[in-house]
Amino acid sequence: MTDKKSGRLAGRHVLVTGAGGGIGLAIAEACIAEGARCSVVDRGPQAPEAVRALMQHHPDALAYIGADVTDMAAIAHMLAVAEARFGAIHTLVNNAAVFDMAPLLESNEASFDLLFAVNVKGMFFVMQAVLRHMVEAGTQGASVVNLASQAGRRGEALVSHYCATKAAVISYTQSAALAMAPHGIRVNGIAPGVVDTPMWAGVDALFARYENLPIGEKKRRVGLEVPLGRMGSPAEMAGAVVFLASDDARYITAQTLNVDGGSVMS
């Protein structure tokens, strides 16, 4: 996150799902720094320690909501709580997601169901619910930013379900953007590459298991394979989200921006 702030999101209410840490929390922090009020959502009933720490610094600009994005009743409650606290939502950042992997012939139904429930069903129905509120309220400058992945741009032998869910995010982003254009609501996405977050410990362990690698080796390799020579940071993803949520991107919709150090070219 840059030290130079311009107040690009001043007075706006940003709702960020999957914001208990990592990329989601970095997005919330960046939005607050640009003048927004943020409702951050994660599964736990109580705010994680990192969220509580940020709330201490921004008690009037940050609120935590515990909600399961795969539960329709929980989505409705989440929106009611968020709007009661900070008013109409100007930007939704759909970040909640889970990861799993396995060889194609060993992958099971439970993994498939979980990944599609959170990454696709949760993403779509949260987006639908927020968009409905935006249309009804006539919210000016409204937008959605969905978190896809470079995995949604191509298949991977060990990561078939996750890749498919993120491809679905890109497709739904395009469809929603066309549906919302007559209402003046923009819908975009970002496709992060490999990002250095706490989740990578679990990802690295899975690659170590299936590719017979030492712990830490996969993470080292993927960073070196990026054209810019390193993994990205959560703050670098947050900067792209702030841009897409701001008026600087007012003529951009139906796009999914690659934020991956040059790994995918489009």
Tokens of 170: 């890109």
Concerning whether 251 is annotated as a catalytic residue, the answer is no
Q: Give the Cα separation of 266 and 44 in Å (integer).
A: 37
Phi-psi map region of 11: left, alpha, beta (phi>0 left; psi -120 to 50 alpha): left
Give how far Cα 235 sits from Cα of 44, 110, 167, Å.
23, 32, 23
Q: Could you tell me if 26 and 10 are in contact, meaning their C-beta atoms sit under 8 angstroms apart? A: no
* Chain centroid offset of residue 101 CA: 19
3-state secondary structure of 15: strand
Catalytic residue among 64, 162, 210, 251: 162
Q: Token digits for 229?
A: 């020579």
Q: Which residues are catalytic?
A: 162
